[in-house]
Amino acid sequence: MRNVFLFIRRNINLIFFLTLQVVSLMMLFRYNKFHESVFSAFSNEFSGRINSRYNNVETYFTLKKENERLQIQNAELLNKLKADFAWPDSAYSIITDTIKIDSLEQYRKFLYLPAKVISNSVYAQQNYLMLHRGSSQGVAPNMAVVGPDGVVGTIVNVSGNMSVVMSMLHRQSKIVAVLKKGSGFGEVTWDGKNPMFVTLSKVAKTVPVNKGDTVVTSQYSDKYPPGHIIGVVEAVADDQVTSTYVLKVRTATNFYSLQYAYVVKNLQKAEMEELEKAIKKD
Amino acid sequence: MSDLLKNIIRFALFIGIQVFILNRIPPLHRFITPYLYFLFILWLPFKTPRLGLTLLGFLFGLTLDFFTKTPGLHAASCTLIAYLRPFLISLMLPKEKFEMSYAEPSVTSMGWLPYAIYVLVFTFLHHSFLVLLEWMQFGNVWYFLGKVFSTTGISLLLITITELLFIRKSRYRTNVA
């Protein structure tokens, strides 16, 4: 017993060093798998507060560009208004509904919540963004995040007032996508090399694919609303092993200067999950 | 200014510069990430107790991890160089007079060549371990080598600039003080 204590005393430095190494390596590898720990709950509030101060200053530098981008988006939305369209009147009579209830609201599937981006990374292999909107403002893990130009990522962690987004530029990010033409379902992943490009794989070879085709989110996804732009096909390559296409896609979102984003809430998700659970039970 | 206060200010300053300036520079190449923050550990006083040095390395790395959302990545590398630091210093400066007469490692206290070797070895160690941890999840051998060497080169350039800009007047420790 005495020898054990002597050994510990003699090698206290080495033992302490190894303990700290094991602690940090455990944090590193567990966090990537489960994305939940005491660490993030504490660190979000800590670094989020400093980041939001800094962001207050930084926002001014990209204000002009951001305004232009929002204006383009506004124009796009205005063009979708009902008032912009006129049909030759073919109805016989006008029926007035006396109950003032928005009958469309109960069928609403996706709800957009605006949020400010307060920190952002592009250069790491695993990129995260932080939004200044948290669980108290209706954000929950697994919600989709889209920006003014296109898809951004998925919420992985929330605290009271902040939330962390796993960017599309993350090794573990996987988004179900489709060509805008209507066929060619596949999976969008990132190889970690260039933040301008992502990869769309598993596209069947029966689908005609050309350079310049637009890639959008699929309606098969339970997180993303269909039709949000992911990017544009830059190069087409064959996958020898599986006889599918591997497409190089230029991202639509400019991750370098992202200031605002929308968190997308799927209001019908609970019902979908319930139905899926019922299938698994049988 | 006392050593404690000076190092607390350095701690905050190095983290701030790394997070808000160096991590936000548009990348020249995908291999290059400018790292400077670990210079804090190399600048700690000679007299820091070894246990404290290892713990400080861990805490310093962890603070940076709070901002980069990579818990443990920088903490592991910083703990490594903080643990190994006393070995190399005692190896390179066998004479006791260095540790007695100067407060912390610098060009004036160690001389040009030993200090350059000291910085080079730890920059290389830090980056190798950091990239190795990233790499175990991802990448290939050429990627690993390319990233370690180019990142080390950029870090050495940054450290040289820092040393030239901020010449630290090493106090000569006397009995009076």
The whole-number pLDDT of residue A153 equals 92
Mean pLDDT score across all residues of chain B: 83
The whole-number pLDDT of residue A270 equals 85
Question: Is A25's CB within 8 Å of B76's CB?
Answer: yes
Average pLDDT over residues B124-144: 81
Q: Which of A16, A31, A194 has the CB atom closest to B71's CB atom?
A: A31
What is the spatial distance between Cα B57 and Cα B61, in angstroms, rounded to a whole number? Answer: 6
Q: Give percent of chain A above pLDDT 70.
A: 86
Helix (H) or strand (E) holding B108: helix B107-110
User: How many angstroms separate the CA of residue A165 from the nearest CA in chain B?
Assistant: 11
If pLDDT is split at 50, 70 and 90, which confidence band does B103 have?
Answer: confident
Which of A24, A165, A167, A169 is the mutation pick for testing B, counting most B CBs within 10 A?
A24
Q: Which positions in chain B touch A123 (Cβ < 8 Å)?
A: 23, 27, 30, 33
pLDDT digits (tens, 9 = 90+) for B17-38: 998 888 877 766 667 788 999 9
What is the spatial distance between Cα A103 and Cα B45, in angstroms, rounded to a whole number? Answer: 71
The whole-number pLDDT of residue B57 equals 93
Question: Is A37's CB within 8 Å of B71's CB?
Answer: yes
The whole-number pLDDT of residue A227 equals 85
- Which of the pair, A91 or A260, is modelled with greater confidence? A260
Contact B42, B168 (CB under 8 A): no
Token readout for A73 is 């988006």
Query: Which of A99-108, A248-257, B94-103 has maximum average pLDDT?
Result: A248-257
Q: Which domains does chain B have, with CATH numbers?
A: 3-23+31-165 (1.10.1760)
Q: Which long-range contacts (CB under 8 A, 24 or more apart) does A67-71 make?
A: A69/A148, A69/A149, A70/A148, A70/A260
The whole-number pLDDT of residue B48 equals 85
Average pLDDT over residues A15-36: 77
Lowest mean pLDDT among A81-90, B69-78, B86-95: A81-90
Contact A149, A69 (CB under 8 A): yes
Which of A11, A21, A118 is the mutation pick for testing B, counting most B CBs within 10 A?
A21
Average pLDDT over residues A215-242: 86
Residues in contact with B42: Cβ distance below 8 Å, sequence separation at least 6, in sequence order: B81, B85, B105, B118, B119, B122
The whole-number pLDDT of residue A3 equals 85
If pLDDT is split at 50, 70 and 90, which confidence band does A221 have?
Answer: confident
Give me the residues paired with residue A175 across strands.
A188
Question: Is A124's CB within 8 Å of B70's CB?
Answer: yes
If pLDDT is split at 50, 70 and 90, which confidence band does A119 have?
Answer: confident
Token readout for A34 is 């489960």
Residue B156: pLDDT above 90?
A: yes
Q: Which positions in chain B touch A256 (Cβ < 8 Å)?
A: 26
Token readout for A121 is 């990374």
With CA atoms as reference, the chain B residue closest to A28 would be B72
Query: Which of A25-39, A74-88, B132-146, B148-162 has maximum average pLDDT?
Result: B148-162
Average pLDDT over residues A48-59: 81
If pLDDT is split at 50, 70 and 90, which confidence band does B11 have?
Answer: very high
Residue A36: pLDDT above 80?
A: no
With CA atoms as reference, the chain B residue closest to A44 would be B66
In Å, what is the CA distance from B66 to each residue of A71, A140, A184?
A: 35, 21, 40
If pLDDT is split at 50, 70 and 90, which confidence band does B78 have?
Answer: very high
Residues of B with CB under 8 A from a CB of A: 20, 23, 26-27, 30, 33, 50-51, 54-55, 58, 61-62, 65-73, 75-76, 79-80, 83, 133-134, 137-139
What is the spatial distance between Cα A213 and Cα A200, in angstroms, rounded to a whole number? Answer: 12
Q: Which of B50, B67, B138 has the CB atom closest to A47's CB atom?
A: B67
What is the spatial distance between Cα A258 and Cα A118, in angstroms, rounded to a whole number? Answer: 9
The whole-number pLDDT of residue A87 equals 58
User: How many angstroms separate the CA of residue A40 from the nearest CA in chain B?
Assistant: 8
pTM: 0.64
Across chain B, where does the E strand assignment appear? none
Question: Is B75's CB within 8 Å of A256's CB?
Answer: no
The whole-number pLDDT of residue A39 equals 62
Lowest mean pLDDT among A52-56, A153-157, B59-63: A52-56
pLDDT digits (tens, 9 = 90+) for A54-78: 888 878 888 888 888 887 888 778 7
User: How many angstroms separate the CA of residue A28 from the nearest CA in chain B?
Assistant: 5
Q: Which of B51, B83, B138 has the CB atom closest to A192's CB atom?
A: B138
In Å, what is the CA distance from B141 to each residue of A89, A246, B132?
A: 69, 24, 10
Token readout for A110 is 């996706």
Residue B177: pLDDT above 50?
A: no
Lowest mean pLDDT among A220-229, B36-45, B73-82: A220-229
Is the ipTM higher than 0.85? The answer is no
Position B149, amino acid? F
Residue B117: pLDDT above 70?
A: yes
Position B148, amino acid? V
pLDDT digits (tens, 9 = 90+) for A76-104: 787 777 665 655 655 555 556 565 556 66
Mean pLDDT score across all residues of chain A: 82
Q: Which positions in chain B touch A52 (Cβ < 8 Å)?
A: none
